[in-house]
């Protein structure tokens, strides 16, 4: 059977023994941690109310109201259109099952809510997408992963889908995805560690988790009860308009757990032709910048970018010109400084490359090449990049996993 791979903007997962496609994901915010190890959640679950639960009524008086002229939360997103967002409310029950107890965050394509499951003794995270979103693609990816029936160890490093449904809003139907609650993203976690960068003892196990999850693709309940009670004790400030209430976000408390890969909305199947610009600015691989057909190894490039970001204060590539604007020429010039000039046969795969190099592979000089930079581990040619499976067994990443020899007297 032909191997399928899923691909998505930051990392992809593939495993030779199972028929699925590579996946990509976006940078640091797409790696989060489970709030606590799963065994902790299983011990606590028996103390929760038995199902079905009764919806709770949240306070509407005594809350801080924000001036209607002040833009908050998703209103600050460029080109914000309120009609595209579902007007969710605290206390609302969706799909006759999930009661909203708090707002966790927002983005350009969705808002994210903390919910109590009225049919099972658990808390979940509900992502409500805007109108005309591509969430259907993400559901397809999750269904594909569920259909594999794999016992691959990397599966536990991936955030899976618990449920999905649609909810009718004032202007159309919104897709909703249900997941387990997660903790900090790596980006948030990095801001808490000394000097804002990971040391090797922290970076190595993190990368092992990433590559295990990539290789597969390619909770403590008492904490959650306290989160819900906080809305009764100290309701979040909110802005009330004619057609909706916009709540300020309340993050989950900081907890311990292992990192998992999440947000698969831009995943791609490997048997598709892919040449679109799917990666965020400085994380783009050279084949993406040059509009070449790309595959699952763009995830390996992105993982290298994330590893650098976790362990260094400054990004390896800025991709910006002197005016501070994103510029492909300056991005490519930085890559040349680090990796050297790309092979001519690589450039010939892209018509766009002629904008930056001549027919003989000589740099046209649209941007100066920085000096005194080198990083041999990166590889422009995608076929030369190692796979996630190969990187899991990299000797450097395996350090600390070997059993120490017992001391002899």
Which residues define the annotated binding site for ATP?
A: 127
User: Who's near 68: CB < 8 A, 6+ residues apart?
Assistant: 239, 240, 241
Report d(CA 294, CA 275) in Å as an integer: 6
CB 12 within 8 A of CB 6: yes
Retrieve residue 70's tokens. 């002040």
CB 261 within 8 A of CB 158: yes
Report d(CA 128, CA 110) in Å as an integer: 5
List, edge to edge, every strand of the sheet that includes 259-261. 182-185, 31-34, 259-261
Cis upstream peptide for 52 (omega within 30°):
yes
Q: b/e for 123-157, b at 16 or more Cβ within 10 A? A: bbbbbbbbeebebeebeebbebbeebebebebbeb
- Rounded to the nearest 10°, the torsion over CA 183, 189, 192, 198 is 150
C-alpha distances in Å from residue 379, one per residue of 306, 343, 359: 15, 11, 22
How big is the chain, counted in residues? Answer: 409
C-alpha distances in Å from residue 391, one per residue of 10, 112, 228, 322, 401: 16, 33, 41, 36, 15
Handedness of CA 166, 27, 294, 154 (dihedral sign): negative
Q: b/e for 183-201, b at 16 or more Cβ within 10 A? A: bbbbbebbeeeeeeebeee
Please identify which of the residues 117, 220, 263, 299 carries the catalytic annotation: 220
Active site residue 263: no
Q: Count of CB atoms within 10 A of residue 293's CB? A: 12
Report d(CA 271, CA 71) in Å as an integer: 43
User: Who's near 121: CB < 8 A, 6+ residues apart?
Assistant: 45, 48, 49, 50, 51, 53, 221
User: Any idea which residues carry the catalytic annotation?
Assistant: 220
């Amino acid at each position: 059977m032909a191997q399928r791979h899923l691909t998505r903007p930051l990392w992809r997962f593939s495993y030779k023994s199972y028929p699925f496609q590579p996946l990509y994901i976006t940078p640091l915010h797409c790696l989060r941690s489970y709030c606590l190890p799963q065994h902790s959640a299983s011990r606590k679950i028996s103390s929760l109310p038995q199902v079905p639960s009764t919806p709770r009524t949240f306070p509407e008086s005594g809350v801080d109201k924000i001036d209607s002229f002040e833009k908050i939360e998703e209103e600050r997103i460029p080109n914000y259109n309120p009609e595209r967002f579902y007007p969710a409310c605290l206390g609302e029950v969706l799909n006759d099952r999930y009661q909203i107890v708090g707002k966790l965050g927002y983005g350009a394509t969705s808002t994210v809510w903390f919910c109590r499951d009225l049919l099972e003794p658990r808390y979940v995270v509900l992502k409500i997408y805007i109108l005309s979103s591509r969430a259907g693609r993400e559901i397809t990816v999750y269904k594909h992963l569920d259909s594999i029936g794999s016992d691959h160890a990397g599966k536990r490093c991936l955030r899976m889908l618990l449920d999905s449904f649609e909810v009718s809003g004032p202007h159309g139907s919104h897709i909703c995805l249900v997941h387990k609650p997660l903790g900090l993203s790596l980006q948030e976690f990095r801001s808490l560690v000394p000097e804002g960068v990971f040391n090797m003892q922290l970076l190595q196990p993190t990368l092992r988790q990433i590559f295990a999850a990539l290789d597969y693709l390619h909770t403590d309940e008492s904490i959650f009860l306290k989160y819900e009670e906080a809305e009764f004790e100290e309701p979040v400030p909110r802005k009330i308009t004619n057609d909706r209430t916009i709540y300020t976000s309340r993050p989950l408390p900081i907890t311990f757990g292992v990192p998992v890969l999440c947000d698969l909305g831009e995943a791609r199947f490997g048997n598709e032709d892919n040449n679109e610009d799917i990666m965020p600015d400085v994380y783009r691989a050279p084949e993406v910048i040059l509009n070449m057909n790309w595959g699952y190894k763009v995830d390996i490039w992105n993982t290298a970018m994330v590893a650098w970001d976790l362990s260094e204060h400054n990004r390896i590539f800025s991709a910006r010109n002197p005016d501070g604007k994103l510029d492909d020429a300056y991005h490519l010039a930085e890559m040349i400084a680090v990796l050297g000039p790309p092979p001519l046969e690589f450039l010939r795969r892209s018509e766009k490359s002629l904008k930056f190099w001549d027919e003989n592979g000589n740099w046209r000089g649209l941007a100066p090449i920085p000096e005194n930079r080198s990083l041999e581990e990166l590889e422009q040619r995608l076929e030369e990049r190692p796979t996630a499976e190969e990187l899991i067994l990299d000797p450097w990443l395996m350090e600390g996993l070997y059993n120490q020899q017992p001391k002899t007297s």
